[in-house]
Structure 1
Amino acid sequence: MPEADQAAALSATLRTVNEAACWVSEVAFERGVPREYELRKHTYAELKARGLGAQAAQHVIKKTRDAYTALKANIRAGNLGKPGSKRRVKAESKPVTFRPDAAQPYDDRCLSWQYGAGTVSIWTTAGRLKNVRFASSQDALRMLREHRKGESDLIERDGVFYLVAVCDVPEAEPYEPDGFIGVDLGIVNIVTTSSGYRAAGRGLNRYRKRQLDLRRKLQAKGTKSAKRLLKQRSRKEARHAANVNHIVAKTIVTAAERTGSGIALEDLTGIRNRVRLRKNQRSSLHSWSFHQLAAFVEYKAKRAGVPLVYVDPAYTSRQCSECGHIDRRNRRSQATFACRACGFLAHADDNASRSIARKGAAVWTSGRESRVPATP
């Protein structure tokens, strides 16, 4: 919550450091992206001449090198397409660039927190700014006091400044679970658990459809006011979906902790590449933030000491949770499961969640290590 003159200094600082990062990126690209130490030899003196402090210059070099490391990892993972694809060629053929308001890391020598006063002291290109006020919830302030460690990132979004602080929270010791709660992920129902909890996706899907229709109308209109409204509404859908995922994840972990159970999730890595859908169904699949939900459940479970495992999702929608019989015809419809071997009848998502719970118990018994699946 900076004053007007402080906000101007912070904004100017972000523009300066990100312009410098773009220049460092060009140098790195021309020299074949050398290691950080070698890149520092080619750029450090020029960064100092541009008015950056010693620590700020080091952070600019490091974040540029980290950006190329992330790019290389994405290429290796196939996230930018196959070799020769248009998207991959475009990414490999030019230097990485940084937005004028992109995040800038600060360490404890560039940024100090005064928790009691609710202020920070922060380096800028205009000098050190003191008594810059910040706002946070009481829970966030307690988290900062007890667990803040390492760097913090300064970010500007739509004229508002944020400090994203790293907090190192110790994990609770996991207990020996008394059974597992299976979690079936879906689109019609966001989650269905074997303990009886169901989070319907109807409201979220309707909200996404309204947002999509509104974006289409504004984009078709193309006026200055329409573009301004589009900018104001940017990221709104993502924030809403993240809030829903937080609520769902907290409900699942709380139920598991209360009953002394573990949590079994499906490993849906690469599902977007495996599944083939009609054109009118693709937007629903690609807006489905199942990886984010799994990550939320993962970190909340670790903090609470709840055991969590990932299981193979193969045949969970076709396998009977009572007798184990697998048959494609068991799935009578999207919502109905009727086993052709034993006659067991249930909601399809309830049956799948029970099958996942059984697989989770088997995985835990066999001692396989749980893990967060990679982003597809």
Structure 2
Amino acid sequence: MKLVVQVRLLPTPVQAAALEATLRACNEAATWVSQVAFAYATLKANLRAGRLGRPGSARYRRATQKPVAFRPFGAQPYDDRVLSWQIADRTVSVWTTGGRMKNVAFTASVEQLATLALYRRGESDLVHRDGMWFLNATCEVPEAEPNTEPVDFLGIDLGIVNIATTSDGEIMAGRELNRIRIRERGLRTKLQKKNTPSARRRLKKRRRKEARRARDINHKIAKHVVAEAERTGRGIALEDLTGIRERVRLRKPQRVTHSSWSFAQLGQFTCAECGHIDRANRVSQAWFACRSCGFVDHADRNGSRNIRARAWELWRRGAQSTAPAPPPKSAGGAGRKRSTTASGARCASPSL
């Protein structure tokens, strides 16, 4: 299993100037190369997934016709030939345009130091963000061989009002996250209208705050879901939401909420009890009432049960998953596992 450990560098003013000059030079060179050889794996993947609009659209044409320009402080990868770690001393030695720079201090927790000492492998990324310097180190942590045959599936319905609803009936509401987003959005609007130097400083300071809070909430929910699936020996089944921002058209008032949404969902009109499909089954955002058998339940809970049922049926048929495969055993991870996906469900074993 690959993990990324981020540590903060504490360079002196002279060291910081050398790191800044190095990042600028590397990104200027990358921008020049981009104009000569315009081909990127990430760009192709985004085009295939529909994240840059439909073929022929103005957005699609802009993405495919204009070479990528690299930001002056874009992150740069360093391998062990040009960056070495002295973990016991909490320093690194790093190559710069001015030569090899030694004894650049960094700070890290005891747990981070232990992980770096035991499992760090491969490249480390030099990152400059909000006036601070960081190193993101790749660590390959071995994991136990999982059971690849789930006894059942835990269906997860993902939404805006409720971030996640499981087929067990557990609802993880997104009220706190949405409240934070509305407050931050209002504050940003006020500061942008004010447009004074102090307002711009406050905007810059707060720009990552909302994202950090959302990431923390989502991370806690994801860990809880995975722990429950592991405890019960079940796989995890999710809706396949690839490219949904391009597939779904929204009214103008809904676009901001949709764009800031960590997840997305399509309407669920199928009864989890009898299978009857009717748009009128979804009586409101929160409630589902089957017009055929009279079954009534929370709409998200009904949707998660449908996802679980689809996942189990697809698994029995031997369909393949679009979930990321774990690293090979030689890299400390488990081998490739059989899992499931098709027509709106994405399924995987608990370890994924």
TM category, shorter: 0.7 to 0.9
Question: Which structure dedicates a bigger proportion of its chain to strand?
Answer: 2
Which moves more between the two structures, 172-181 or 79-88?
79-88
- Are 1:5 and 2:14 matched, yes or no? yes
Which moves more between the two structures, 15-24 or 199-208?
15-24
SS at match of 1:134: strand
Q: Could you tell me which residue of structure 2 aligns to residue 121 of structure 1?
A: 93
Partners of 2:49 and 2:271 lie apart in 1 by 35
Q: Could you tell me which residue of structure 1 aligns to residue 182 of structure 2?
A: 209
Q: Could you tell me which residue of structure 2 aligns to residue 337 of structure 1?
A: 288
Counterparts of 1:137-286 in structure 2, within 5 Å, are 137-170=109-142, 172-175=144-147, 176-286=149-259
Deviations 1:260-294 (A, max 9, x none): 22211111122223323222112111111128xxx
Deviations 1:90-119 (A, max 9, x none): 444443221111111111010111222222
SS at match of 1:132: strand
Q: Could you tell me which residue of structure 1 aligns to residue 279 of structure 2?
A: 328
Question: What amino acid is aligned across from residue 284 of structure 1 in structure 2?
Answer: T
Partners of 2:126 and 2:82 lie apart in 1 by 11
Q: Could you tell me which residue of structure 1 aligns to residue 340 of structure 2?
A: none
Question: What amino acid is aligned across from residue 354 of structure 1 in structure 2?
Answer: R
**Which stretches in structure 1 are left out of the alignment for 5+ residues?**
34-64, 292-312
Counterparts of 1:293-312 in structure 2, within 5 Å, are none
**Which stretches in structure 2 are left out of the alignment for 5+ residues?**
1-9, 325-352
- Are 1:364 and 2:337 matched, yes or no? no
CA deviation after TM superposition for structure 1 residue 181, in Å: 1.1
Question: What amino acid is aligned across from residue 114 of structure 1 in structure 2?
Answer: Q
CA deviation after TM superposition for structure 1 residue 73, in Å: 4.1
CA deviation after TM superposition for structure 1 residue 77, in Å: 4.6
**In structure 2, do the counterparts of structure 1 residues 346 and 78 end up closer, same or farther at CA, with 3 Å as the change threshold?**
closer
Please, what TM-score do these two structures have when normalized by structure 2? 0.82
**In structure 2, do the counterparts of structure 1 residues 370 and 68 end up closer, same or farther at CA, with 3 Å as the change threshold?**
closer
Bigger relative contact order, structure 1 or 2 (CA pairs below 8 A, ≥6 apart): 2
Identity across matched positions, percent:
60
**In structure 2, do the counterparts of structure 1 residues 69 and 353 end up closer, same or farther at CA, with 3 Å as the change threshold?**
closer
Q: Could you tell me which residue of structure 2 aligns to residue 353 of structure 1?
A: 304
SS at match of 2:40: helix
1:287 pairs, out of 225, 243, 260, with 260
Partners of 1:197 and 1:77 lie apart in 2 by 31
CA deviation after TM superposition for structure 1 residue 314, in Å: 7.2
Which moves more between the two structures, 251-260 or 268-277?
268-277
Aligned positions, number: 314
Partners of 1:75 and 1:337 lie apart in 2 by 36
- For the aligned residue pairs, the C-alpha RMSD in angstroms reads 2.3
CA deviation after TM superposition for structure 1 residue 85, in Å: 3.8
CA deviation after TM superposition for structure 1 residue 161, in Å: 0.6
Question: What amino acid is aligned across from residue 286 of structure 1 in structure 2?
Answer: S
Partners of 1:197 and 1:89 lie apart in 2 by 44
Please, what TM-score do these two structures have when normalized by structure 1? 0.77
SS at match of 1:276: coil
Q: Could you tell me which residue of structure 1 aligns to residue 345 of structure 2?
A: none
Partners of 2:242 and 2:146 lie apart in 1 by 25
SS at match of 1:358: helix
**In structure 2, do the counterparts of structure 1 residues 212 and 173 end up closer, same or farther at CA, with 3 Å as the change threshold?**
same
Question: Which structure dedicates a bigger proportion of its chain to helix?
Answer: 1
SS at match of 1:352: helix
Partners of 1:368 and 1:84 lie apart in 2 by 33
**In structure 2, do the counterparts of structure 1 residues 148 and 4 end up closer, same or farther at CA, with 3 Å as the change threshold?**
same
CA deviation after TM superposition for structure 1 residue 258, in Å: 1.4
Question: What amino acid is aligned across from residue 189 of structure 1 in structure 2?
Answer: N
SS at match of 1:319: coil
- Is the CA contact (8 Å cut-off) linking 2:34 and 2:69 kept in structure 1? yes
Counterparts of 1:21-100 in structure 2, within 5 Å, are 21-26=30-35, 28=36, 33=37, 68-83=40-55, 85-100=57-72
SS at match of 2:124: strand
**In structure 2, do the counterparts of structure 1 residues 319 and 89 end up closer, same or farther at CA, with 3 Å as the change threshold?**
closer
